[in-house]
Chain A
């Protein structure tokens, strides 16, 4: 199984809502990532988890809150978002942290719209 799954596929939320994005992988990977991608731009790294611990936080606003309940799951909790947060949110996993030979496998993404 070389698949990373993400739910939901699409999400529309108001600025006062609280929602969560979910990501799951069953490849035994120990590193998981959240990226944000705006249209016609490359993915921007948000968070990295390694062995279920937060390893990198790329100065992301606190309205984004990651959580790694176990080695297969990664959540991104959203609260009080702004319209400019509308984007494609991609989850990825790799055997270990990037920076070694390990390619990242990406999920299909959640397309988020903030009204």
Chain B
């Protein structure tokens, strides 16, 4: 079973629009960590954020914000006032403390920001 689901395969928005990327996860662990990574066309995966399962506070970093809701097992990512440089594939990932060392990636959402 897929532990991390990113239902949106591809999204296109016009520059300056806001866009939300969805991430739904599945785990039985009480202690786990969620991550978002950005992969631009150059290929390198860039770490954006880590959130642990005990901290449901939403976080804002510039134009980026994250909404973590344990009740719905979701960790959504919003880009405000999107820019062309935001065009990339975005991966959500889960790691579980008690069930080994593996990083579970979602299938990714390809975001295209049109100028």
Q: Which of B17-25, B72-80, B100-108 forms part of the interface with chain A?
A: B100-108
* A41, B107: Cβ atoms closer than 8 Å: yes
Residues in B with CB closer than 8 Å to A111 are 43
Q: How far is the CA of A111 from the CA of B31 in the complex (A)?
A: 35
Supposing A103-B47, A106-B44, A109-B43 touch, asked if A56 and B106 sit within 8 A by C-beta, the answer is no
List the B side residues contacting A101 at CB < 8 Å: 33, 50, 52
Distance of A75 from chain B, by nearest CB (Å): 19
Complex formed: what's the CA distance from A92 to B105 in Å? 14
CB neighbours of A45 from chain B (8 A): 102-103
A-B contact count (CB 8 A): 58
Residues of chain B in range 41-64 having any CB-CB distance to chain A below 8 Å: 42-47, 50, 52
Asked whether A99 lies within 8 Å of B100 as measured between CB atoms, the reply is: yes
A46 vs B93: C-alpha distance in the bound complex, in angstroms? 16
Closest-CB distance, B40 to chain A (whole angstroms): 10
B81 at the interface (CB under 8 A from A): no
Q: How large is the interface on A (under 10, 10 to 19, 20 to 34, 35 or more residues)?
A: 20 to 34
A98 CA to B97 CA in the complex, in Å? 8
Instruction: Pick from B35, B99, B102: contact of A103, CB below 8 A.
Output: B35
CB-based contact B52/A90 at 8 Å: no
B91, A42: Cβ atoms closer than 8 Å: yes
B95 contacts the other chain (Cβ, under 8 Å)? yes
Among A56, A90, A103, chain B packs the most CB atoms within 10 A around the CB of: A103
- B residues within 8 Å of A by Cβ? 33, 35, 37, 42-47, 50, 52, 91, 95-97, 99-103, 105-108, 110
Binding site for B on A (CB under 8 A): 40-43, 45, 48, 55-56, 88, 90, 92, 97-101, 103-109, 111
Contacts A/B (CB < 8 Å), 10 sampled: A41-B107, A90-B43, A97-B101, A98-B95, A99-B101, A100-B95, A100-B97, A101-B50, A103-B50, A108-B42
